[in-house]
Amino acid sequence: MTNGSVLSSIPSIPMTVEGKRALDEELKRLKAVDRPAVIKAIEIARGHGDLSENADYSAAKERQSFIEGRIQELNGKLASAQVIDPSQIKSDKIVFGATVVVSDQDSGKEVKYKIVGVDEADLKVNKISIGSPIARALIGKKAGDEVIVNAPKGNVAYDVIEVRYE
């Protein structure tokens, strides 16, 4: 098996331009700020003597392990990222990156969601993961369609009011 075929078998991770920027910034901070700070903390803790009973040293080593693991994770995600700029999408159907306004058929309440990558999802700002039940139900639909979402509390029916890409 050649190296090229191994790389082609790695699934791409969809993310918006904004999501990639956030991961790039986190990676930069981890490398430029957090990593040097934890190395300094380890050096200081080593100066306190017996490492077997040194809580500061153990905590710093644990933090270092977390930082290095996160750096590897981010490098992997960025290497397999498929960056999508929603403003360049021209479709009336709902796909990754869409901003969708839906209306709950029971309550009439309207909600706006943006379908984003797993790492970008944040329900507090109505960004939902492409893998979430509501996003999976919305994909392929368009304004005027009815969508049934299999939610933990049971099926919820929505009407798609608007689909846009911004």
In the numeric block, the tokens 């507090």 are attached to 124
Q: Given this model, what pLDDT does residue 9 score?
A: 55
Q: Given this model, what pLDDT does residue 49 score?
A: 75
- Contacts of residue 26, defined as CB under 8 A and 6 or more positions apart, other chains included, come to 70, 74
pTM of model > 0.95: no
Residue limits of CATH 3.10.50.30 in the chain: 86-164
Q: Given this model, what pLDDT does residue 153 score?
A: 83
CATH 3.40.190.290 fits 86-164, yes or no: no
Q: Report the CATH fold assignment for 10-84.
A: Helix Hairpins (1.10.287)
Return the H-helix or E-strand segment holding 162.
Answer: strand 154-164
Residue limits of CATH 1.10.287.180 in the chain: 10-84
Q: Which residues of the chain have pLDDT under 70?
A: 1-10
Tens-place pLDDT, residues 13-34: 899 999 999 999 999 999 999 9
Print burial letters for 42-80: b (CB count within 10 Å at least 16), e (below 16).
beebeeeeeeeebeebeebbeebeebeeebeebeebeee
Tens-place pLDDT, residues 84-101: 999 999 999 999 999 999
Q: Crossing angle, helix 17-29 and helix 55-79, to 10 degrees?
A: 150
